[in-house]
Amino acid sequence: MADITPIPDHPALEIRGSQKVICVGDLHVGLESEMRARGVHVPSQTHRMERELTELSQGRDRVVLLGDVKNKVPGSTAQEHAELPRFFRSLQRNYSEVDVVRGNHDTNIEDFLPTGVNVHPSTGFRIDDVGFAHGHTWPSPEVMSASTLVIGHNHPTIALEDSLGNISKEPCWVRLKVREGTLKRYVEVPNEIIMVPAFNRNLGGSPVNLSRGKLLGPLFSEGFVDVSEGRVYLTDGIYLGTIGSLMVQSTSRVRTLPHRSRPDY
């Protein structure tokens, strides 16, 4: 049984089994180019993500990117052409294996990848008893038979409402269970589904606890997962409660909380 642990103050999972694996999702390289086209000028996060994954590579063998590595669909931006090849060459220098699960934004992703990067279909793949999928399509039966399924796609955040009705949101982890009685599609299902926050800090997040909100992907739209019982954790490891116990009504006054500094562990 693999040991799966969120790394404090990083939107990254560590999986310890036959290999030591780092898993991140939703990098959306090229996002900042799209934002500039809309008049919003922010620095690219690609070099920061590269440095962060280099730091996390110490003592670890493999890195899994859970889809939406690139941003623009259809087509590609000049930013993607300039930054993605260098980014992957850096990963290959620091990890013995680099895996990409195809996300819904990853059309022609192979054009940017150096030889040796493992590209997996959107239905996912497994390492030992852990399955990996982006989350926008049904995972394969093989992936769903793993003990734990790790997905991205939703960029989960938690909306926090104060006494004045102001709402802040922070990236979060969500740990979910498959709803009982929904086994018709699969013979076996995972014991737990872990939804990872977006690795690119420039991405907006979707609050998982809005009363009228919906999570994306067939696992949620088809009622396969009991969302209300999903357990929510901040990226510094604080457990907040279940989604059902944290519901808020609207996000008409939203602000993004500043990035938390690393806690002492």
- The secondary structure of 131-161, three-state, reads EECCCCCCCCHHHHCCCEEEECCCCEEEEEE
User: Residue 261's closest CA among 9, 58, 3?
Assistant: 9
Positions of E strands within the chain: 3-6, 13-16, 20-24, 62-65, 97-101, 118-120, 125-127, 130-132, 148-151, 156-161, 167-176, 192-195, 206-207, 231-234, 239-242, 254-256
Count CA atoms closer than 13 A to 27's CA, side-chain side.
30
The predicted pLDDT at position 239 comes to: 96
Task: Identify whether 133 is part of a domain.
Answer: yes
Provide the residue type at 157 as one letter: T
Task: Report the sign of the C-alpha dihedral through residues 77, 100, 202, 157, in that order.
Answer: positive
Task: Identify whether 262 is part of a domain.
Answer: no
Query: Which value, to the nearest 10 degrees, does the dihedral of the CA atoms of residues 231, 236, 237, 239 take?
Result: -50
Task: Identify whether 179 is part of a domain.
Answer: yes
The predicted pLDDT at position 113 comes to: 93
| Strand-pair category, 231-234 with 239-242 | antiparallel
Task: Identify whether 18 is part of a domain.
Answer: yes
46-66 pLDDT, tens digit per residue, is 999 999 999 999 999 999 999
Q: Tokens 């060459």 sit at which residue?
A: 89
Task: Identify whether 65 is part of a domain.
Answer: yes
Task: Identify whether 233 is part of a domain.
Answer: yes
Task: Identify whether 153 is part of a domain.
Answer: yes
Report yes or no: 26 and 70 within 8 Å, Cβ to Cβ: no
- Residue 40: give its domain's CATH number: 3.60.21
Provide the residue type at 75 as one letter: G
Give the residues of the chain that fall short of pLDDT 70: 181-183, 250-265
- Number of domains the chain contains: 1
Report yes or no: 34 and 45 within 8 Å, Cβ to Cβ: no
Residue 180's region, left for phi above 0, alpha for psi from -120 to 50, else beta, is beta
The pTM (predicted TM-score) of the whole model is 0.89
The predicted pLDDT at position 72 comes to: 84
Task: Identify whether 208 is part of a domain.
Answer: yes
Residue 79: domain span: 3-256
